[in-house]
Amino acid sequence: MATYDYDLITIGAGSGGVRATRLAGGWGARTAIVEESRVGGTCVMRGCVPKKLLVYGSHFAEHFEDATGFGWAKGRPDFDWPSLIDNKNRELNRLEGIYERILRENKVELLRGRGVLTDPHSVEIDGKTVTAEKILIGTGSWPSMPEIPGIEHVITSNEALDLEDLPRQVVIVGGGYIAVEFAGIFNALGAHVTIVIRAGQILRGFDEDIRETLAAEMEKKGITICREAVVRSIEKHGEKYSVRLASGEELGCGAVMYATGRLPNTRGIGLEEAGVELNQKGAVVVDEWSRSTVDNIFAVGDATDRINLTPVAINEGRCFAETQFNDNPMSMDYDDVPSAVFSQPAVGSCGLTEDEARESGQIDVYISRFKPMKHTLTGRDEQIMMKLIVDAASDGVVGCHIVGDDGPEIIQGIGIAMKCGATKAQFDATVGIHPSAAEELVTMREKRPEHGK
């Protein structure tokens, strides 16, 4: 019987990899985790957490403006971008320390460096080779950019989190959740923001009412959305940049950010050489147990390109560890996974879009648009949109979509209800909390006519 240095080596100390490895280590497995950057991965160090902190910071701009409607004297304090970035970095350092301690407490050895597979059981880390019975890939994803003239001048979400100064004009290429989130941050803090998208609308893949509502609200706030546009080239002129579109239009700005998607971060680490199948995007092809085409090599998180959300990666990591190291077989359930976009206003979504639901059968749609109670005194022109999609045959709620500042918090509870199979009748029988935005979800009674919205 082969003898290995470890029972499990994980490549990538992100959310999924850390969860899987520390659980396995806590159950007595000999474990190690390999990381060439910071412990915590994309979410904690380069994504969800630092971005949300910047979102919080940017909200104060409107809070100060709205305060006068509630009797507070006019006046807006000066904003200091470097202070926000410094405070954000201090928090990330604290979180990284917590992650490292969690690994130590569960007897997981942290191996610093780039891990590359040299065979199905061996990983080389900066010239040193270690072996393991099982190997887990948790290397996440990385921003993807096209090859166009001047692409070397752009930043991605990675660099946007650490800019030394706040640009006064920003062009963001892309219309996904990362693009609209950073557009909201920069706009709220005083920058003029232009979003450039190939499609006719932002947030491809989301429910159409979310897409239309959020776009309208962003445009109210002064964000320009340049639709059906393609960037041909980018040039730098001193401290400024020029973005030329296929139409011939040129956009001047102080920073160009690309948010045109992310690809699995799997190239150059020996996967294909070890026999692991990757799909066209570079994602590790896995089965329901997160097992690759090589029996002892597994993968979780964005490296597999299933549902690219941090809590999903964490749950995939847990299922892997429970199955392989705790004699408790578990596989991830991908139905009714709630998600949020921390745009301004924010988005909460769970279940099927209207178009997806219509493919499955007859549905009833309930939708409500209204001004938040807060803005009856501020005078701000902003609307909330809430939408329920109901399977007509079973009365089950199969989709819920919200645009509004409390949407992400509300959708978490709705996700629980939908996971339990809640029906529209049960929503209707639930007493609302008044006054709140969320009560609208249990008071909608009128179906939207089939012939229009």
Distance CA 446, CA 33 (A): 54
Q: Which of 121, 153, 434, 451 is catalytic?
A: 434
Helix, strand, coil in percent for the chain, rounding step 5: 35, 25, 40
Number of helices (H), then strands (E), in the chain: 12, 21
Buried b (16+ CB within 10 A) or exposed e, 191-220: bbbbbbbeeebbbeebbebbbbbbbebbee
Distance CA 361, CA 373 (A): 36
Write out the H or E segment, with its range, that includes residue 235.
strand 231-237
Distance CA 21, CA 108 (A): 7
Contact yes or no for 338/350 (Cβ under 8 A):
yes
Distances 266 to 9, 139, 401 between C-alpha atoms, Å? 16, 7, 33
Give the strand order in the sheet containing 169-173. 224-226, 192-196, 169-173, 255-258
Task: Please return the burial class of 36, using the count of CB atoms within 10 Å of its CB with bins 0-12, 13-18 and 19+.
Answer: middle
Distance CA 293, CA 303 (A): 14
**Strands 255-258, 169-173: parallel, antiparallel or unpaired by DSSP?**
parallel
Q: In 10 A of CB 99, how many CB atoms?
A: 22
What is the total residue count of the chain?
Answer: 453
Rounded CA Rg of the chain: 24
153 is catalytic: no
The answer to whether the peptide bond before residue 345 is cis (omega within 30 degrees of 0) is yes
Q: Which amino acids are annotated catalytic?
A: 434
